[in-house]
Amino acid sequence: MSWTEERVEILKKMWADGQSASQIAKELGGVTRNAVIGKVHRLGLSNRNTGAAPAKPAEPVAKPAPAAEKPAGPAAAAKPAPQPAAAPAAAAPASPAPKPALPARKAIIPAGQPLPPQPSANEISPEALASQREVEKKARKLTLMELTERTCKWPIGDPATEDFWFCGLPVEQGKPYCEAHVGVAFQPMSSRRDRKR
DNA sequence: CCCTGATTCGC
DNA sequence: GCGAATCAGG
């Protein structure tokens, strides 16, 4: 494979888009992430800075920079709720559910006021609930940043507090969740129907 | 262990 | 120019 104009265009676009080198490599095919990174450098766009902010040679001497830049307002401290990894229990067997697909790091997280849809206990079967508790004890407790394509993206806890993490166990092949959580996420409609609260 | 980008250097 | 190997880091 060679760097045809077309492929370079894809590379540029994806890189500018914040995609990782490995993702780009995967997309292009026939190249490794190393190749992508190498090309990126040769193209001179290693710095993900846009055209703006051209020269930044490293300042020789400290520059006071008086402007105490404070975003101001207490609201600035508000931490955005993490993009819901999914709305788990909402999948029908026939439709495997749209992959929650964590937005490739660039995506803007819409500072959610409303909490992400958490699976409520009364919506899942008792058996599944039991196994869920079981799994939560073994969870790797990953943060949003630590999730990858092969870690379970099941949210545990309250996103509004520090007691929040993702399962993180190895996912079932091709699924967004580990074995146990696939079980609670992909339930037949019949077993969900009219579950009493 | 999974992943990230950065750099080097023989080709 | 290319990219594997390696490095440095999370």
User: What are the pLDDT digits (tens) for A157-188?
Assistant: 877 777 788 887 777 666 788 777 777 777 66
Nearest nucleotide to A43, CA against C1' atoms: C1
Residue A118: per-residue pLDDT: 55
Please report residues contacting nucleic strand B, using a CB cutoff of 7 A. A 20-23, 33-34, 37-38, 40-41, 46-47, 148-150
Residue A109: per-residue pLDDT: 44
Residue A8: per-residue pLDDT: 95
| Pair A28, A13: CB distance under 8 Å | no
Please report, rounded to whole angstroms, the spatial distance between the CA atom of protein residue A48 and the C1' atom of nucleotide B6: 13
Listed as own residue / partner, the contacts of A75-80 with beta carbons closer than 8 Å and 24 or more positions apart are A78/A111, A80/A109, A80/A110, A80/A111, A80/A112
Q: Which residue is nearest to nucleotide C1 (CA to C1')?
A: A42
Q: Which residues of A74-91 are buried (b: 16+ CB within 10 A; e: fewer)?
A: eeeeeeebbbbbbebbeb
Nearest Cα to Cα of residue A184 among A159, A156, A150: A156
Please report, rounded to whole angstroms, the spatial distance between the CA atom of protein residue A170 and the C1' atom of nucleotide B3: 15
| Residue numbers in chain A where pLDDT is lower than 50 | 51, 53-116, 197
Residue A79: per-residue pLDDT: 38
Residue A169: per-residue pLDDT: 73
Residue A138: per-residue pLDDT: 65
Please report, rounded to whole angstroms, the spatial distance between the CA atom of protein residue A197 and the C1' atom of nucleotide C10: 43
Residue A155: per-residue pLDDT: 86
Residue A140: per-residue pLDDT: 61
Please report, rounded to whole angstroms, the spatial distance between the CA atom of protein residue A57 and the C1' atom of nucleotide C3: 28
Residue A161: per-residue pLDDT: 78
